[in-house]
Amino acid sequence: MHTQPTASHFINGAYVEDTAGTPIDVIYPATGEVIGRVHSATPAIIDHALNAARAAQAAWAAMTGTERGRILRRAADIMRARNHDLSVLETFDTGKPYQETSVADATSGADALEYFGGMAATLTGEHIQLGDDWVYTRREPLGVCVGIGAWNYPTQIASWKGAPALACGNTMVFKPSETTPLCALKVAEILHEAGAPAGVYNVVQGLGDVGAALVSDSRVDKVSLTGSVPTGRKVYAAAAAEMKHVTMELGGKSPLIIFDDADVENAVSGAIMANFYSSGQVCSNGTRVFVQTGIKEAFLARLTERLGKAVIGDPQDPETSFGPMVSEGQMKIVQGYIAKGQDEGARLVTGGARLDRDGFYLEPTVFADVTDGMTIAREEIFGPVMAVLDFEDEAEVLARANDTEFGLAAGVFTRDLARAHRVVAGFEAGTCFINSYNDAPVEAPFGGVKASGVGRENSKAAIEHYSQVKSVYVRMGDVEAPF
């Protein structure tokens, strides 16, 4: 597997390089080795990408939805056929175990391309009869969309943004995270191979400055960011200054409530999926696990037992189920939170240490007896650290669950389904789970409320965020005027 890409950027249907840009090393999180190098986009590269996207947009939008959709569905087929190689690359890019990447990354990207490819031909306006007169609406593309990605799901993020944008007749310039620059280039290559005309989907590399330059450029009509809340605030403000459309998929500190009557085995599985998948680097993670006191000891005992079965090791080995953190920097941030948890009096149940091996490995970590005011219960950690908090009754736990600036996701485990629906209705969160956690099928809207975001990805809802409605009044008779 060659991890050095052909060139840093993919613009106007071809790989493009400009070595004048600041070098960005690609580091394999499992070893700390440099496995590739790209260069940050120079102003000339940004200009080239935006001009290409602008130039391609009208002709792409003029194609029928069926034609655009066929290309997206062909791209989905290519992505599925190359799942193994794309998953190996995703593992090099992120350090996530192949056991995960082979089922959750290119597959999720392909799902988005297939779903929005299928939907492209169905995008229509409506007819509104007003006596003899009538109004019709046209669903039109926004124009040039900029996508900016986080590092945890590089293939998925590039596809979740690209697929609905292209289905609606927009073109895209996508900037991956500087930490994981490899996979988006493959998404661009595949779309081009599937028949997307040059300029329809472009990738440029860079840090925040490149993202900021894209967001404020007058050639851009919409910005979709996946990233942290602080970055979201900056990007939203810059986009608002020029009245651009936005989608903000940001961070969270989501609650997972486990009632006494829950099935312990399923609740433990849910809590593992909510905290340790992708080594805890999932935006929607339920990291505040509220456990009713009657089930607490059984839950903690079984959780500790199950975490002992995690296979921590070489992420390219299909047997490995738990990999390293994405970077040394992220590992140090998480180590800082673990130290804070201990300093502030939380009880370390298991984990807490860095593994004595190359790469950025931390043990799956569980704190119990966490209280609402502790730092580990208030701030997004984005690592494998679960905070277990006690609770007694439903009203109390719901109020505590909602006592946060975030609102991305929330989950509940209980056998009492009336209670489950009541609790979910009370959650201040955009993406909720009953007796499950972290499922993200393309058919379901995904996104947050409060500081966790604006807009939705996936599902029919995404179409609203990549298109606009034009309304046309048609008078069938004479026009009356006062003078």
Ligand X SMILES: O=CCc1c[nH]cn1
362, 276 in Cβ contact below 8 A? no
Q: Beta strands 288-292 and 255-258: pairing type?
A: parallel
Q: At residue 474, what is the residue type?
A: V
275, 260 in Cβ contact below 8 A? no
> DSSP label at 353?
S
Smallest distance from the beta carbon of 236 to ligand NAD, in angstroms?
A: 10
DSSP 3-state of 47: helix
Sequence-ordered strand ranges (E) for 48-132:
127-130
**Residue selected from 246, 250, 283, 312 as contacting ligand X according to rule CB under 6 A:** 283
Q: Is 276 in the site for ligand X (CB under 6 A)?
A: no
Strands of 467-474's sheet in order across: 127-130, 133-141, 467-474
Give the DSSP per-residue string, 417-443: HHHHHHHHHH---SEEEES------TT
Q: Is 121 in the site for ligand NAD (CB under 6 A)?
A: no
Residue 234: name its binding partner from ligand NAD, ligand X, none (Cβ under 5 to 8 Å by kind): ligand NAD
In terms of CB distance, is 284 or 414 closer to ligand NAD? 284
Q: Is 408 in the site for ligand NAD (CB under 6 A)?
A: yes
Smallest distance from the beta carbon of 284 to ligand X, in angstroms?
A: 5
Q: Is 72 in the site for ligand X (CB under 6 A)?
A: no
Q: At residue 295, what is the residue type?
A: I
In terms of CB distance, is 220 or 273 closer to ligand X? 273
Smallest distance from the beta carbon of 282 to ligand X, in angstroms?
A: 4
In terms of CB distance, is 28 or 382 closer to ligand NAD? 382
Q: Is 201 in the site for ligand NAD (CB under 6 A)?
A: no
Q: Is 282 in the site for ligand X (CB under 6 A)?
A: yes
456, 447 in Cβ contact below 8 A? yes
Site string for ligand X, 423-462 (x = CB under 6 A): ---------------x-x----------------------
C-alpha distances out from residue 187 to 92, 107, 223, Å? 16, 12, 19
Residue 438: name its binding partner from ligand NAD, ligand X, none (Cβ under 5 to 8 Å by kind): ligand X
Residue 208: name its binding partner from ligand X, ligand NAD, none (Cβ under 5 to 8 Å by kind): ligand NAD
Instruction: Please choose, out of 20-28, 74-82, 278-286, 385-393, the segment that lies near ligand X by the rule CB under 6 A.
Output: 278-286
Which secondary structure element, helix H or strand E, spans residue 52, and what is its range? Answer: helix 43-62
CA distance 406 to 121: 36
**Residue selected from 275, 284, 335, 404 as contacting ligand X according to rule CB under 6 A:** 284
Q: Is 380 in the site for ligand NAD (CB under 6 A)?
A: yes
Residue 440: name its binding partner from ligand X, ligand NAD, none (Cβ under 5 to 8 Å by kind): ligand X
Active site residue 344: no
Alpha helix locations (H) across 344-481? 375-378, 394-402, 417-426, 461-465
207, 329 in Cβ contact below 8 A? no
- Tell me the residue length of the chain: 483
At which residue do the structure tokens 């950025």 appear? Answer: 360
**Residue selected from 211, 255, 286, 364 as contacting ligand NAD according to rule CB under 6 A:** 211
**11: β partners:** 14
Q: Which residues contact 67 (CB under 8 A, 6 or more apart)?
A: none
Smallest distance from the beta carbon of 288 to ligand NAD, in angstroms?
A: 14
Q: Is 106 in the site for ligand X (CB under 6 A)?
A: no
Q: Is 320 in the site for ligand X (CB under 6 A)?
A: no
Q: Is 102 in the site for ligand X (CB under 6 A)?
A: no
Catalytic residue among 90, 100, 189, 249: 249
Sequence-ordered strand ranges (E) for 317-454:
347-350, 365-368, 385-391, 409-413, 431-434, 453-454
In terms of CB distance, is 97 or 251 closer to ligand NAD? 251
Residue 289: name its binding partner from ligand NAD, ligand X, none (Cβ under 5 to 8 Å by kind): none
Sequence-ordered strand ranges (E) for 67-212:
127-130, 133-141, 144-148, 171-175, 201-203
Instruction: Please choose, out of 152-160, 206-214, 231-239, 372-380, the segment that lies near ligand X by the rule CB under 6 A.
Output: 152-160
- Contacts with ligand NAD by CB under 6 A lie at 148-152, 175, 177-178, 207-208, 211-212, 215, 226-228, 231, 234-235, 249-252, 283, 380, 382, 408, 448, 453
Q: Among all residues, which ones are annotated catalytic? A: 249
- Contacts with ligand X by CB under 6 A lie at 152-153, 156, 282-284, 438, 440
